[in-house]
Amino acid sequence: MSATPVTYGGSRRPPRGDYSLARDDYTCDQNWDLYTPQQHELYARLYARQLRLVDGRACDEFLKALAHLDMGARIPRFEDVCERLARATGWRIVAVPGLIPEDAFFRLLSQRRFPVTVWLRTPEEFDYIVEPDLFHDLFGHVPLLFDPVFADYMQAYGEGGLKAQRRHALELLARLYWYTVEFGLIDTARGLRVYGAGILSSPGELQRSLVDPAALRIGFDLRRVLRTAYEIDDFQKTYFVIDGFAQLFQQTAQDFTPIYEQLLPLPPFTPDRAQSGDRVLPASASSC
């Protein structure tokens, strides 16, 4: 055994997942045969609920890939999903026991390998779960890896993570992941849509993020995002809105070293208020 268990949020919560069988790079086998009929059924219920909610809320790139993947009947075999993904964008998915350390995570992303947690939440956690589980990882993250531009962004992020570690700027870079990959919104010709996995896999946040008048929606600005602290245990108070994945990719292609140097000494912004210079966007009109 070489993999040390990882806990969420640095709290005293015990680690979830069995790390004893993980390899040095934290990948493990999915052991698909060990899922119980109850777990397949719980997954199918989670999937069906979320599938109804993403319509009209998730971005087209996500919806298209999700429909094509058709992985709602039972917990998929990662190999099957992986094969189709590899054909589309060269990304693979690998099984992991749960959360993994940052450097292992960045290394996998830089190799176009996305880690998916093997365990599924319990029925008691149907509505809310703190840590990412199989459903969050698979439903929330994997469909967008079929989009070529987003796929390249994720790989660049992994490489950027390894570099940010050397610059002691992980806290800044983690905010970029949070406000894009996990909680990002995108402005489309048909209105605001969701692309962040943390929203896409959450029934409550999916229904609120586009319409809640109490939340802020701010046009994406790299320095603003890197400087904004986030909260992990409540609905987000600020969302950042991109115009498209090309904009996201282009704005993050520059060397972050001077930006880190500029921002590291500055205090972070809190997510509960707008700053001067923000482009604040209106909420979508509620459709229900």
Q: Of these partners, ligand PHE, Fe ion, none, which one is at the site of residue 132 (CB under 5 to 8 Å by kind)?
A: Fe ion
Which stretch, 69-77, 88-96, 102-110, 196-204, contacts Fe ion (CB under 5 A)? 196-204
Residue 26's binding partner among Fe ion, ligand PHE, none (Cβ under 5 to 8 angstroms by kind) is none
| CA–CA distance, 4 with 79 (Å, rounded to integer) | 25
Q: Give the whole-angstrom CA distance, residue 154 versus residue 6.
A: 22
Catalytic residues: 136, 141, 182, 201
CB of 277 to ligand PHE, least distance (A): 22
Check residue 252 for interaction with ligand PHE (CB under 6 A). yes
- The rounded distance, in Å, linking the Cα atoms of 33 and 36 is 8
Q: What is the rounded distance in angstroms from the CA atom of residue 64 to the CA atom of residue 143?
A: 8
| Residues 22, 28: Cα–Cα separation, whole Å | 5
* d(C-alpha 7, C-alpha 122), whole Å: 17
Structure tokens given for 230: 């986030």
The one-letter code for the residue type at 108 is L
Residue type, 37: P
Per rule CB under 6 A, is residue 256 in the interface with ligand PHE?
yes
Among 22, 54, 197, 225, binds Fe ion (CB under 5 A): 197
For ligand PHE, what does the binding mask look like between residues 140 and 179, x meaning CB under 6 A? ----------------xx--x--x------------x---
Pick the piece of the chain touching ligand PHE (CB under 6 A) from 19-27, 56-64, 65-73, 248-256. 248-256
Judge contact between 176 and 165, C-beta under 8 A. no
User: Which residue, 89 or 252, is less far from ligand PHE as judged by CB?
Assistant: 252
The yes or no reply on residue 132 touching Fe ion (CB under 5 A) is yes
**CA–centroid distance for 40 within its chain:** 23
Query: What does the binding site for Fe ion look like in residue numbers (CB under 5 A)?
Result: 132, 197
Q: Which residues bind ligand PHE (CB under 6 A)?
A: 156-157, 160, 163, 176, 252-256
